[in-house]
Amino acid sequence: MIHNLGKASWKEILKLTGIIFGISSFFELLNALTLPGKGINFLVLMLNGLLSFIVIGIVFYGLHRSIYTKMIKNKVLSFLVLWLACMLIIGLFVLIHVLTPPLLTLYLASPVGILMITILLVGLTIAALRRNKEDRKIWWSFLPPVYIMGLIGILSRLPLTEDWLASSNGRITAAVCIGFGLILNWVITYVNIRAEKE
């Protein structure tokens, strides 16, 4: 299968990089918009794009050098290597988020933040509805946590609810709601996988 992949074109690499960059940027923007005082750090977005390009390049290089096929005989070792590689990639994205200084950070006024959250949620909903039936199932699983984060971002900018959400009770409630959204994500994904197997 790896032999039949052929050499990846720059177009394929850039397309996959764009998808990874788009996903990481979407969640970075949504995370920034969920917390009103955080702001959008454009330097983080640029570094995420650079890291996405490097990761995709390494993945294609590894596939075409057939490194992974040498370890496939030992399932435990291949799983461990794959798990470590994924953790390293996720860790690098997290480090970029944590260590990048706020040099290019844009702080939004509450009405602008609410407008941006609404545009993101509407855009995501339209994108999910435009997918074919099989792809739509994958998108539906991500919608609950994203909608919950978006709703928290909007409520944290409204005069009636911003003080309560900034309190300890409000933060605990927000964390529980996000956790519930992640559980819904897992349940929907599990149900979809079971349905495909059957």
The contacts of residue 165 (CB under 8 Å, 6+ apart) are 152, 155, 156, 171, 173, 174
pLDDT for residue 178 is more than 80: yes
CB 187 within 8 A of CB 137: no
Instruction: Give the max Cα distance, the chain.
Output: 60
pTM given for the model:
0.65
CB 145 within 8 A of CB 27: no
pLDDT bucket at 176, cuts 50 / 70 / 90: very high
Q: Whose CA is closest to 43, among 54, 28, 27, 65?
A: 28
Q: What is the DSSP string of 135-166?
A: HHHHHHHHHHHHHHHHHHHHHTTSTTTHHHHH
Q: What pLDDT does residue 15 have?
A: 75
What average pLDDT does the structure give for the chain? 78
Q: Which residue has the higher pLDDT, 15 or 113?
A: 113
If one counts every other C-beta atom within 10 angstroms of the C-beta of residue 26, the result is: 15
Q: What pLDDT does residue 1 have?
A: 41
pLDDT for residue 136 is more than 80: no
CB 184 within 8 A of CB 145: yes
**Angle made by CA atoms 158, 161, 167, in degrees to the nearest 5:** 130
CA–CA distance, 38 with 43 (Å, rounded to integer): 14
Q: What pLDDT does residue 9 have?
A: 63
If one counts every other C-beta atom within 10 angstroms of the C-beta of residue 63, the result is: 15
| Tokens at 83, concatenated | 């798990």
Which helix (H) or strand (E) element contains residue 7? Answer: none
pLDDT in tens, 150-167: 898 889 888 888 888 888
